Amino acid sequence: MDFSISKDTQTILDMIADFMEKEVYPLEPYLLREDFKELDVELEKKRRKVKEMGLWGPAQPKEYGGMGLGLVDFGLVSEAIGGSPLGHYIFGCQAPDAGNIEILHEHGTPEQKERYLRPLVEGKIRSCFSMTEVEMPGSNPTLMETSAVKEEGNYVINGQKWYTTSADGAEFAIVMAETNPNASRYKRASMIIVPTDTSGFDLVRNINIMGHQGAGFFSHAEILYHSCRVPQENLLGEEGAGFVIAQQRLGPGRIHHTMRWLGICSRSLKLMVERAAMRPIAEGKVLADKEIIQAWIAESAAEIAAARALTLQTAWKAENLGWKETRQEISMIKFVVANTMQRIIDRALQVHGGLGMTDDTILAYFHRHERAARIYDGADEVHKLSLARQILKPYRAEMQKARESIHA
């Protein structure tokens, strides 16, 4: 596995690092004050600059205006821009749009690509992904109450969704709904494109996340679909293929998430080191003189390096051997990197003391919004059980053969 960074990629990373320091981090006070109208204006200015620099849409298809980077290179870019909650949006590769772009590119009809994919890649519109339901287990997409029934050339959708990220201001949603209730559980659901101005698409509220409601791109909505009627031509891919498409979306999505989390880890560690080095605790002494703080810094640096290596290995394997051969690593990175991030954010908060609990730094925002990393896209426990089953499978098969030979 060759993880060497090409000159072109290194140039891109150097440009991004400079841009983040000078243009992105100074915008964070707008986000922390939740002054979203002012923030939107500033974000658009930065997005235009990114396009002028030729860095727009790192992972998006070249034929639609993106850079078309592979998984490993995009992983490195994702880490570089992940140090700020604003980074991925400013560079045009934010979730949920990034995942929607991938499945539209893979499964969309020519008409769907022209109407939805092209303006999405260009950053002219936003989208959302509507799968998680209030009363059903979010980590099991085969269990779903939302239905889509065929009627006079349309799908009539009824159901309740929540945690539909960035629905506020989105142009369309990709909705996961049950279209084939009598099929096997992996073929019951389909994905359907629903413009958000469709009658029956009701954005009930932006959900408060640890006391912060958010708005626009920085929000998570509850949505009611009540007799929401869209043409059958809005079906994405084949009918009954919703589960399979969702799995295709989740694989690269988890790599995107984990590399973004590593960006948060690196930023939190940098803030921790800076604070420890300057915070006086006694005459002639600073916090960094304490051995326990030194241990936290060393542990954090080592944990980031290990998590990064595992994630890049996963990206390389997926890119070169395929997703089927990468199932174990996908499960590993999800809970390993999420927990690494939680520990490092917590240490950084502790080093900052009372300051860390305020919005005078970005750390409290990370703590509020990234705690969910151990829940969304499958709770840690689900990934651990899945990984354990995969590891145990050949051993169980051998044990079964041994038992059968004994009784033969």
pLDDT at 72 over 70: yes
How confident is the model at residue 3, as a pLDDT?
65
pLDDT tens digits, one per residue of 105-162? 999 999 999 999 999 999 999 999 999 998 887 667 778 899 999 999 999 999 999 9
- Report residue 317 as tokens: 């394997």
Q: What global pTM score does this model have? A: 0.91
Buried b (16+ CB within 10 A) or exposed e, 263-295: bbbbbbbebbbebbeebeeeeeeebbeeeebee
Per residue, the 3-state secondary structure of 14-66, as one string, reads: HHHHHHHHHHHHHHHHHHHHCCHHHHHHHHHHHHHHHHHCCCCCCCCCHHHCC
pLDDT at 2 over 80: no
- Mean pLDDT for 178-196 is 94
- Mean pLDDT for 298-323 is 94
How confident is the model at residue 212, as a pLDDT?
85
Cα 178 to Cα 145: distance, rounded to the nearest angstrom: 7
- CATH number belonging to domain 244-396: 1.20.140.10
Confidence of residue 408 (pLDDT cuts 50, 70, 90): low
Q: Which amino acid makes up residue 302?
A: A
**Are the beta carbons of 16 and 55 closer than 8 angstroms?**
yes
In CATH terms, 127-236 corresponds, of 3.40.50.2300, 3.40.50.300, 2.40.110.10, 3.30.70.2660, to: 2.40.110.10
In CATH terms, 7-108 corresponds, of 3.40.50.620, 1.20.1250.20, 3.40.47.10, 1.10.540.10, to: 1.10.540.10
How confident is the model at residue 291, as a pLDDT?
97
Concatenating the DSSP letter of every residue in 112-129 gives HIIIIIHHHHTTSS-EEE
The alpha-carbon radius of gyration of the chain (Å, integer) is: 23
DSSP type of residue 269: H
How confident is the model at residue 1, as a pLDDT?
64
The CATH 1.20.140.10 portion of the chain extends over 244-396
How confident is the model at residue 242, as a pLDDT?
93
How confident is the model at residue 250, as a pLDDT?
77
pLDDT at 35 over 80: no
Q: Which amino acid makes up residue 34?
A: E
The CATH 2.40.110.10 portion of the chain extends over 127-236
- Mean pLDDT for 365-393 is 91
Q: Is 61 left (phi over 0), alpha (psi -120 to 50) or beta?
A: beta
Cα 49 to Cα 140: distance, rounded to the nearest angstrom: 41
